[in-house]
Structure 1
């Protein structure tokens, strides 16, 4: 499987995690968030950056995940109705923190809060199987300038 993320050019060439607080895990748990396709990765990144920062500082990162790696899945229909709240991660973090702490599977598949019909993947950087995930390419991010123009109107 190929997964994608949009990363800052300073970090796009390596599989490192900052351990910052996120929707699915608390601060101090080093994970890498990625998406099932480039448009979703782009939308996730733009939401986090609040629609600003179109420039040459961001890259598309391609990750190869071996098909035999075990994946734990969070089903959207089993989540609290408010799980997508952009300011309250209390519905999702307990699930992600448990997955992280259990260390049974290197990948957690979760619905995207930006587009729940699509999936994001959370990679457990401390899991022994994480080393099998490979960064296979980094390319320029060159979105249509009209997208930024639209987003700037609402910023």
Structure 2
């Protein structure tokens, strides 16, 4: 499985999940490191955009392609139908669930629906997993897109 991560150039090579550990996220509480990725570059862009405070946060970013082994024992697929109906509006719930999954060190990654595009999936990597060394990080590349859209939406 290939997944994509968009991040500020200065943080793109952090494979420890430090940012998520320090600040928490939808699927992890503070204190639990992980790496947020998406199954599609376009979803990674939307996820990055929704968290950007200023246009500048979107201008100096890089794209990282990540290969996760296609081993069903290493990847947990969170089924949306089993999630609490209001999961997208209840960050306490999604963080609790993510904490449970991140605590299972046999799971290298878990997939979750995107709150932005629920029919698409984000993939959360667990750097503390026993087999995390099987994940392959390809060299990052500068990310470019047509920023006209972003300039209309961000100040």
Q: What's the TM-score once normalised by structure 2's chain length?
A: 0.89
Unaligned segments of structure 1, at least 5 residues: none
Deviation readout 1:17-57 (Å, 9 max, x if unpaired): 111311111111110010001000010000011463232x2
- Residue 149 (structure 2) aligns with: 147
- Counterpart CA distance in 2 for 1:84 and 1:14 is 27
What number of residue pairs does the alignment pair up? 150
Unaligned segments of structure 2, at least 5 residues: none
Contact 1:82–1:91, Cα closer than 8 Å, also in 2: no
1:83 to 81, 87, 95: 87
Which structure has the highest helix share of the two?
A: 2
Deviation readout 1:65-103 (Å, 9 max, x if unpaired): 111262112111222222112xx4112112111111122
TM-aligned CA deviation for residue 128 of structure 1? 1.3
2:87 is paired with a residue whose SS is coil
- Counterpart CA distance in 1 for 2:139 and 2:103 is 30
Contact 1:6–1:42, Cα closer than 8 Å, also in 2: yes
- Counterpart CA distance in 2 for 1:117 and 1:51 is 27
- Residue 35 (structure 2) aligns with: 32
Deviation readout 1:95-150 (Å, 9 max, x if unpaired): 11111112231111111111111111111101111111111131111121221123
RMSD: 1.6
1:5 is paired with a residue whose SS is strand
- Counterpart CA distance in 1 for 2:55 and 2:103 is 34
Q: What's the TM-score once normalised by structure 1's chain length?
A: 0.89
- Residue 52 (structure 1) aligns with: 55
Contact 1:51–1:148, Cα closer than 8 Å, also in 2: no
- Counterpart CA distance in 2 for 1:128 and 1:117 is 30
- Counterpart CA distance in 1 for 2:97 and 2:17 is 19
